[in-house]
Structure 1
Amino acid sequence: MRAVRLSVVTAATTVAALAAVTGCSSKSDSKSADGAIQVTASDDACKLSKTEFAAGHVQFSIENKGSKITEVYLLFPDDRIVAERENIGPGTKQNLTAEVKAGSYEVACKPGMKGSGIRQKVTVTGGAQTPKRDPKLDAAVAAYRTYVQQQADDTLPKLKTFTDAIAAGDVEGAKKAYAPSRIGWERTEPVAESFGDIDPKTDVREDGLEKGQTWTGWHRLEKALWKDGKIGDEEKKLGVQLSTDIADWQKRVGTAEITPTSMANGAKELLDEVATGKVTGEEERYSHTDLVDFKGNVEGAQKAYELLKPVASKNDPALTAELDKQFAAIEAQLDKYRTDKNSYEFTSYDKVGESDRKQLSDGVNALSEPLSKLAAAVAK
C-alpha cells in the first residue's frame, strides 16, 4: 500500500520512529554509484544533477535533506511507475537502479510520502529499444510476468468468497475470508502499485487518504468488520466496488512494464512494506492479520529474487549468499508464529509482544539491506 505509512508529527519524532521501527540510517545503501544522477530531496524541492541522460541502466543517488520521510519515483507521463525508492529518512541516502528507454519522464519527490510530489521533467535520449541484457534475464522477466498474472487470477475466487460474505451480511464469514483474499495482492503489490490508480482505491488506509478522497477498499471493510462489527448497505456497495477494482487489476497485470531492475526494486519495496506497515501493526490495525501480509510480501520478494539469482549470483556471489541466508532466517522467524504449518494461519499480531516485534524488525532490516543492492547486481 503506497500511502502514509508512518505518521509524520515532527522531524525528531519521525527520525526516532523510523530508526526504531525500520532500522533506517544513513549507512543504508549510502555509497553513491559512479556516474549516478544525484537527486536531492527536501521538504520543498526535488533537484537533479541533470535532467537529460542516455537510455539504458540509469543509477540515481538520492539524498533526503528534508525534515520528513520521503520517497522518489521515476514516472511515465501517465504516472505509471518506472522505478521507486520509498521510506528515505531525513538525513539519509539511498541508491536506485532502473532500466529506462528513451522518452519523456518525471521524477517526483514526495515529502511525508503524500500527494503528487514535487516534480522535475526529465528527458531520456537514445534508442527506444530495450538495453542489451543476458538472455537469462529475459527468461526471468517472462517467468515473473507469468507468476504475477497467476497471483491475480488466483485472487479473484478468494475475493469472491470475501465479497459474497459481505453481500450476505455475514460478518464472521467475511472476517475468515478477509486475509486470504489479500495474499496474491501482497505478493505482487509493486506491480499493482505501478498503475498508479488501483492501489488508492483498493488498499489505502484511513490515514493515507488524500484531501477529498473517498475511503474504499479492503481496509474500509476491515474497519467495518472488526471495529464496527456490522455490514450495512454502504459496506455491501463497497464490496461490489472492491470486486470491480480487483477485476480491473487482474485484467491490467499483463500490461505492466516489467524489467529485471523493476523486479529487483519491487522485491526491496515489498520489504519496505513489511518494515513500515506490517511490523508496526499499522497495516491491519483492526483485524491484526499483519503476519499473513508479512508472509505474502516476503514470498513475493523471494520469488523475484530467485528468478534473478542465476545472473545475480554470477555478478555478485557474495550478495546472493547473504540473501539466501537472510531469506532463510526471516522464513524461520515467521514459522514460529504459524498456528497451522500447512496453511496461512498465523498468530493475531496484537498477541505479538514488543520484544518479538523488535526481533522481526531486525530480521527484515537484515534482509532489506542486501536486497537494496540486487538491482545493481543484475544490471552489471
Structure 2
Amino acid sequence: MRTTPTTAPSLIAAGVLALAALTACSGDGGGATGQAAPASGGAANGKITVAATDTACQVARTDLPAGTATFAVTNNGTKVTEFYVYAPGDRIMGEVENIVPGLTRELIVELPAGTYETACKPGMIGKGVRGPLKVTGEAKPLTDNAKLAEATTSYQRYVRSQTDALLTKTQEFVDAVKDGDIDKAKALFPVARTYWERIEPVAEIFGDLDPKIDGREEVIEEGMEFTGFHRLEKDLWVAKDVSESGPIADRLMSDVKLIVEKANAEKLSPVQLGNGAKELLDEVATGKITGEEDRYSHTDLWDFAANVEGSKAAVAALRPVLEERDPELVKALDENFAKVEETLGKHRDGDGWKLHNELSKAELKELSDVINALAEPVSKVSAVVSR
C-alpha cells in the first residue's frame, strides 16, 4: 500500500534511506539511474523525461505512439514523490513509487491506443498533479510472442491460486473477529495477509480498492475512512476490543471478494509482471523492513516473505523468455533469490516468523542488504521482456 506514514516520521526516514540504497544499485530497465534527467525537453534515448516538483509534473511528450514507452522521472522537489500512468477509472497501467528528491527512476509501460492520465504525487498522497496522455496508432502487443503470452497465462493461474486462499483465510479471520475471538483473529491476521501480499501487483491496479483493504491509518489524511486489515489490526492489538468491529470486518470481506473477482479477470502484460516483481521488493524496502506496515502487530516478516514469494512468482512466469534473451540475468536472479530466502529463513518461528521487534538492527540490515542486492537484477527484467 502506497500511503505515506506521516504519523511516523522516523519510519519514513528509514524507509527512504532503505529505498535510496536499493535504487542506487539498480541498473537499466526500471531502477534508478542515480543521475538527474533533463528537466524538460524530448525523449533522450527514446525515454520520455518527466520533471517532478512539489507542485508540477512536466511530461516531455503527451502524445505517444502505441506500444512500449519508458518514462524517466526526476524528482526536482523537496518531497518524496511517485509517478503513475492511469487508464480511465484510475486503473493503474504503471507506477513507480518512492522517488526521493534528486533521484531519477524509470517506468516501462505497455500502452495500447487510448486516452490516459499521468500523475506525479508529491508527498505520495492524494490524486496528484495530473495531465493528459494520448496514445494513437497500432502496435503488436508483447504477447504476440508465444512465450510471453504463456507467461501472462501462467501468472494468471498463480493469481487464481492465491485469491482462492485469500478468500478462505480472510473469511476465517473475519469470522474470528465477529465472534470476538481475539487470540484466533490475531493468529489468522498474518496468514490471511500472506495471500494478499503475494498478489499486490494486480491488486493495486483497481483504484481505491487497495487502500480500502490495505490502507494504513494515514488514509484519513486523503479523505478516506480507515478500514480494512490495518483498522482491524489496531482494534486487535491496541484497543484489544473487537466488540464494535463487525461492520469493518464485513466490509473487508466484501472488498476482498470484489478485488478477487477483478484480479481473476485481469491478465497483466509482460512488462507489468516485471514491474510488479520490482514493486514487491520496494514494498519490503520501504515498509516491511522498517516495521511500518504492521506497526501494531509487528507481523511484518510474514508480509516480507510474501512479497518476496510474489516477486519470485512473477519472475518465474517470465523465465523462459529471460533464459532465451539474457541467461546471465537469470543466473543472477536465481543466486539473489536464494540468498534472500536463506537470510529470511534464519528468522523462522515454527510455521511462521519472528516478530519484527524481535530482530536486532544488525539482522534487519542484513535483510535489507540482500533485498538491495536482489533488486538490482530484478530491475532489469522489464527492459529484457520489452525488447
Higher RCO (CA-CA < 8 Å; seq separation 6+): 2
Partner of residue 300, structure 1: 310
- 1:310 aligned partner, one-letter code: P
Pick from 228, 231, 248 the counterpart of residue 238 of structure 1: 248
Alpha carbons 1:97, 1:261 under 8 Å: kept? yes
Which range moved further: 251-260 or 42-51?
251-260
Aligned to 1:322: 332
Task: Name the counterpart of 1:361.
Answer: 368
1:111 paired to 2:122: yes
Cα distance between partner residues in 2 of 1:175 and 1:53: 49
- Equivalence for 1:141: 152
- Over aligned residue pairs, what C-alpha RMSD do you find? 2.1
TM-superposition CA deviations, 1:318-351 (whole Å, max 9, x none): 22221111111101111000112xx3x1011110
SS state at 1:318 partner: helix
Change (3 A) 1:333 1:16: closer
Q: Structure 1, residues 202-233: CA drift from partner, whole Å, max 9, x if none? A: 10011243343211000000011111111122
Superposition map of 1:78-117 within 5 A: 78-117=89-128
Corresponding letter in the other structure for 1:295: A
Contact 2:177 2:246 in 1 (8 A): yes
Cα offset, 1:153, TM superposition: 1.4
- Tell me which moved more, 370-379 or 318-327: 318-327
Q: What is residue 201 of structure 1 aligned with on the other side?
A: 212
Distance in 2 (CA, whole Å) between partners of 1:9 and 1:347 is: 24
- Aligned partners of 1:53 and 1:20: how far apart in 2? 34
- Corresponding residue SS for 2:171: helix
Normalised by the length of structure 2, the TM-score is 0.92
| 1:113-192 matches, cutoff 5 A | 113-127=124-138, 130-131=141-142, 133-192=144-203
Does residue 58 (structure 1) correspond to residue 69 (structure 2)? The answer is: yes
CA distance in 1 between counterparts of 2:258 and 2:32 reads: 38
Contact 1:263 1:304 in 2 (8 A): yes
**Per-residue deviation, residues 81-121 of structure 1 (Å, max 9, x unmatched):** 01111111110111111111011111111111100110111
- SS of corresponding position for 1:244: helix
Cα distance 1:123–1:169, how it changes in 2: closer, same or farther (>3 A)? same
Asked if structure 1 preserves the Cα contact closer than 8 Å seen for 2:277 and 2:378, the reply is: yes
CA distance in 2 between counterparts of 1:88 and 1:130 reads: 29
Identity of aligned residues (%): 43
Q: Is the 8 A contact 2:340 2:371 kept in 1?
A: yes
Task: Name the structure 1 match of 2:270.
Answer: 260
Match of 1:250 in 2: 260
Displacement after TM superposition at 1:245 (Å): 0.7
1:21 deviates by: 6.0
User: Which of the numbers 55, 59, 73 marks the counterpart of 1:48?
Assistant: 59
In 1, Cα distance between equivalents of 2:361 and 2:216: 23
Secondary structure of 1:179's partner?
helix
Q: Give 3-state SS (helix, strand or coil) of 2:101's partner.
A: coil
Q: Which residue of 2 aligns with 1:4?
A: 4
Match of 2:16 in 1: 18
Which letter does structure 1 place at the counterpart of 2:271? T
Deviation of 1:303 (Å): 0.4
Q: For residues 231-268 of structure 1, what are the alpha-carbon distances to aligned partners after superposition, in whole Å with 9 as ceiling and x for unaligned?
A: 122x1111111111111111111232510000110111
Contact persistence 1:30–1:92 (CA under 8 A): yes
Whole-angstrom distance in 1 between the partners of 2:171 and 2:8: 36
What is the CA distance between 1:295 and its match in structure 2?
0.6
Q: Which runs of 5+ in 1 are unaligned?
A: none
Flag the 1:242–1:379 CA change in 2: closer, same or farther, 3 A. Answer: same
| Number of residue pairs matched by the alignment | 374
Would the alpha carbon gap of residues 261 and 293 (structure 1) be closer, same or farther in structure 2, given more than 3 Å must change? Answer: same
CA contact (8 A) 1:39 1:62 kept: yes
Relative to the length of structure 1, the TM-score reads 0.93
